[in-house]
Structure 1
C-alpha cells in the first residue's frame, strides 16, 4: 500500500514536470513569435536589405506579410496548446484530489448521521406522545358508559 501511494506521488510529479516543460516551451514560442512579428512590423528606411537580396519593396512586403501570417498562426497554435494544458491540469486536479473529495463525503455523512439521530429522537417522542394519548383514549373508552 505504501509503495503504491509513493509511486502515485512520483507519477503525479512526473506528469506535472512534463506539463511544466510544455508550458515553458509554449510561452517561449509565443515570445519568439511576437518578437519576430514586431521586428517585421518595424518600419525602417534602409533599402539595403532589399538591395542585398535583389528584391523590390513589393516582393519584400509580400514575404513579410506571409511570415506574419505564419507567425500569427504559430501564436494561435501555442495559445491553444496552453489552453489545452490548463484544461488538462483542471481535469487532473479534479480527478486526483481524493483528499478533498473524501473530506466532503465524510462531512456530508456526518451531517446526515446527525440529522438521522435528530429525526429518530423526534420520532420516539412522537411515538411516546401518541402511545400515551392512545392509552388515555382506551381508558376513556373502556370506562365510558357508551361502550
Structure 2
C-alpha cells in the first residue's frame, strides 16, 4: 500500500498525468514483481541502451517484442510438445510462458533485437528531436535594440 497521497499534485499541475499514473503503478509492485525471466539493463553509450533477457530454450518463433505508448513488452510462449521424450526425474529448466514489461522514457525507441546463446538482446536508443534540445540564446548588449515584429516582417 502506498504511504503518500498525490491528490494535491493533481490539482496544481497540468500535463503530468502520465508521470502520476507511473508513480501509482510503481507503488503496487512491492510484492508482485515478476522474476522470470531474469534480465539486465545496461547503458552502452551516451544515448544507447540494451536490455538482455535470459530466455534459454525459447526459439525466435516463440518470442515476440512489441512497443507502444512508451512501453516495451517482451513475450515468450513455448509450444507444447506433443509427446515427452522421456520421464523427468527433476525438471528445473523453466519452459513457462512469460510477459515482461518495461516503461520507456520519452524519445526512446527500439532499434533492433537479436537472440544469441539463450540471451535476447533488445537495443534501444534515445533520440531527442532537435526542437526539444537545449539551445543558447544570444544576449544583446545595452545599446542594441531588440528586433520588433515590424522589423522582422520587412
TM-score, normalising length from structure 1? Answer: 0.29
Which structure features the higher share of helix residues?
1
**Greater gyration radius:** 1
Which structure features the higher share of strand residues?
2
